[in-house]
Amino acid sequence: MSALAHLACLAGRYRDMFDITRQVVEAKQTSCTVEERRLFLTACGEVARRLRCSRHVIHCIEIHPLMSVGYKASAAMAYRVNIDAEIMMVCKDTITIVEDFFLPTVNSCEDEILFQKTVGDYSRYLAQVSTDIEFRDNCERALMAYESASSFAAAALPPTHPLRLSVATNFAIFHHTILRNRAEAINISRSAFRQAMDHISELEEGTYQDSVNILLVLKQNLMNWGFVFVSG
């Protein structure tokens, strides 16, 4: 089955890859190998990314009259609702598998951080397409997961580690886009950016490019959110 998942990945058929790896994980549960977990998370990430990009396009058509020329806003809304349902299915399945099968058998701090971050990310995606009670529940789960990932990362990883930077980046985005808390988003991003820059000479060769890329994202987010960098 892992070979089939690799073939689906090579062919860019990530939905097939998601279904294959989900079946493997559900069958083996807590006895999954590191590679099987990696394949599952890769598939989830690619499927979710594509669905969210599709939703963004349709939602823009739905809410902007100039973009909806030739389309009925009601048709765009109906199509967006269908995409939302797909996003919900993928995210709920991912969270359930991570919480039920991956986290109970975690054997390293990095895995704990990665899996908590995954729960936070997919709960954030759910919050973006849910309302009322479900929205609050998804926000609470995302907040708890991000806080847990952040605590573990601060204790176990150097400030320049790409996983620690990634947690800070996504936690800040959660505050900005979901909770509408711009001040906290800036605070998280600024702290992560400054701590990393203070230890920039400690960047490891193997993760150098990943860390630099995430630092650039952090800096761009801060600028987009109105933070002014003071030179000197």
Q: Mind listing the pLDDT tens digit for each residue in 25-77?
A: 999 988 899 999 999 999 999 999 999 999 999 998 888 766 656 667 788 88
CB crowding 137-156: b at 16 or more within 10 Å, else e: ebbebbbebbebbbebbbee
Q: Which tops the pLDDT comparison, 154 or 66? A: 154
**What is the C-alpha to C-alpha distance for residues 11 and 33, in angstroms, rounded to an integer?**
23
Model confidence at 228, pLDDT cuts 50, 70, 90, reads confident
Q: What is the dihedral of CA 74, 76, 79, 85, to 10 degrees?
A: -90
| pLDDT score of 95 | 98
Query: Which CATH superfamily, name and number, covers 107-227?
Result: 14-3-3 domain (1.20.190.20)
Percentage of the chain modeled with pLDDT above 70: 95
**What is the C-alpha to C-alpha distance for residues 19 and 51, in angstroms, rounded to an integer?**
15
| pLDDT score of 68 | 57
Model confidence at 205, pLDDT cuts 50, 70, 90, reads confident
Residue 83 has pLDDT above 90, yes or no: yes
Model confidence at 120, pLDDT cuts 50, 70, 90, reads very high
From the number of C-beta atoms within 10 Å of its C-beta (0-12, 13-18, 19+), residue 159 rates as buried
**What is the C-alpha to C-alpha distance for residues 46 and 159, in angstroms, rounded to an integer?**
27
Residue 193 has pLDDT above 90, yes or no: yes
